Amino acid sequence: MFEGKTNVVRLPGDESYHYWEMFEDTYAIQYGEALFCYLLEGKDSALLIDTAYGRGDFPHVIERLTEKPIMVVNTHGHYDHTGGNAWFPKAYMHPVAAETARRSFQPLDKEFWANMPYPDYDIVFINDGYVFDLGDRKVETIHTPAHSQGSLSFIDHKCRLLFTGDEFDSGQANLRGFETIAPFLENMKKLKSRESEYDFILPQHNGGPITKRYIDNFIKNAEDILAGNPHPVGLFDSPGAPGSNNPNRTRSRVGHSSILYNAE
């Protein structure tokens, strides 16, 4: 699959991978404490949702999980979700995601980057409604921009799973300014309208699967924030989610779901 170039360059700070079959032919790949990718295997091909940083044993993990041709898709363009794309010749993503997909958060180790077989991998633009056909398994794309304007979510119609990227997770919805609350609410209403098509939600951070009830909590939370009635808690007061020492950040929590955003 990697044309023989599966040697890895280990870097200081590399974390361990853990991986397991979470649902039938659906594998969770956990890097470090709280970052997840997912591999969905069909009759003819497999879909890899995000590639983390691509560090350490990442290509070896993928080789162990499937021998089928792999399509890579990114939930958005942040480097902790696209860093491993260069192990593959092509990746699918929203056009906005492509603006940052090859941009690391920090300078890349030259030896590490030189070892990647496809540093100039092709990018295929996709948007709302695009369907990946894995043979006996179809995965539909939903545009859900708030955390990032290029954010995509995915409904796996065979296994009835929703993959949300960073739009929300089991700890929080990590948003930017107050102006992102309204589009976030629209996203939640869109996903709520499709809830008969999935049974569980698999986010990209802080663990899963999680219940669909999170969406109801996020809808109420966002509506109350927009109405001027947020539910403030401490910035670190949310299960599994990082806080912030930035005094301009605010956290509003409803149930186990919290929204972290910049105050007006």
CATH number at residue 26: 3.60.15.10
Asked whether residue 25 falls in the same domain as residue 148, the answer is yes
Indicate whether 5 pLDDT > 70. no
Q: What is the mean pLDDT of residues 57-81?
A: 97
Q: Residue 147 falls within a domain, yes or no?
A: yes
In terms of domains, do 143 and 189 share one?
Answer: no
Kindly state the tokens that stand for 23: 């649902």
Structural domain contains residue 204:
no
The answer to whether residue 1 is domain-embedded is: yes
Tokens representing 11 are 């870097």
pLDDT for residue 248: 86
Structure tokens at 243: 């806080």
Q: Is the pLDDT of residue 4 over 60?
A: no
Q: Is 239 left (phi over 0), alpha (psi -120 to 50) or beta?
A: beta
Nearest to 165, CA basis, from 237, 226, 96 = 96
Would residue 29 count as lying in a domain?
yes
226 plus 148 within the same structural domain: no
Token pair in block for residue 101? 């997909």
Q: Are residues 190 and 98 in the same domain?
A: no
Model confidence pLDDT, tens digit, residues 199-243: 999 999 999 999 999 999 999 999 999 999 999 999 888 876 777
Which of 145, 167, 189 terminates a domain? The answer is: 167
Interhelix angle for 213-226 vs 181-193, to 10°? 150
Q: Which two tokens stand for residue 86?
A: 């260069």
Residue 205 lies in a domain: no
Angle at 213 between CA 236 and CA 171, to 5 degrees: 20
Predicted local distance difference test score (pLDDT) of residue 238: 80
Percentage, residues of the chain above pLDDT 70: 96
Whether residues 135 and 195 fall in one domain: no
Domain count, the chain: 2
Long-range CB pairs of 20-25, under 8 A, 24+ apart, other chains included: 22/202, 22/208, 22/209, 23/159, 23/161, 23/200, 24/159, 25/137, 25/159
Domain extent, residue 237, equals: 170-199+211-264
- For residues 47 and 69, is the Cβ–Cβ distance under 8 A? no
**Please, which pLDDT band fits residue 244 given cuts at 50, 70 and 90?**
confident
Please name the residue that has the structure tokens 């974390």. 15
Residue 83 located in a structural domain? yes
pLDDT given for residue 171 in this prediction: 86
Comparing 3 with 113, the larger pLDDT belongs to 113
Q: Are residues 85 and 185 in the same domain?
A: no
Q: Higher pLDDT residue, 179 or 5?
A: 179
158 and 195 inside one domain = no
**Between vectors from CA 26 to CA 24 and to CA 27, what angle results, nearest 5°?**
125
- Tell me what pLDDT residue 2 has: 52
How much is the pLDDT for 51? 98
Q: How many other C-beta atoms are found inside a 10 Å radius of the C-beta of residue 53?
A: 23
**Are 152 and 189 part of one and the same domain?**
no
Neighbour tally for 197: CB within 10 Å? 14
The answer as to whether 255 is a domain residue is: yes
pLDDT tens digits, one per residue of 98-123: 999 999 988 999 999 999 999 999 99
Q: How far is CA 229 from CA 104, 141, 223, 236, 254, in A?
A: 38, 33, 9, 20, 12
Claim to verify: residue 160 and residue 223 sit in the same structural domain: no
For the chain, the 3-state helix, strand and coil shares in percent, each to the nearest 5, are 20, 30, 50
- Cα(210)–Cα(229) distance, rounded to whole angstroms? 26
For the record, the structure tokens of 262 come out as: 């910049």
Q: What is the pLDDT of residue 3?
A: 47
User: Distance between CA 172 and CA 226 in Å, rounded?
Assistant: 17
Q: Is residue 56 part of a domain?
A: yes
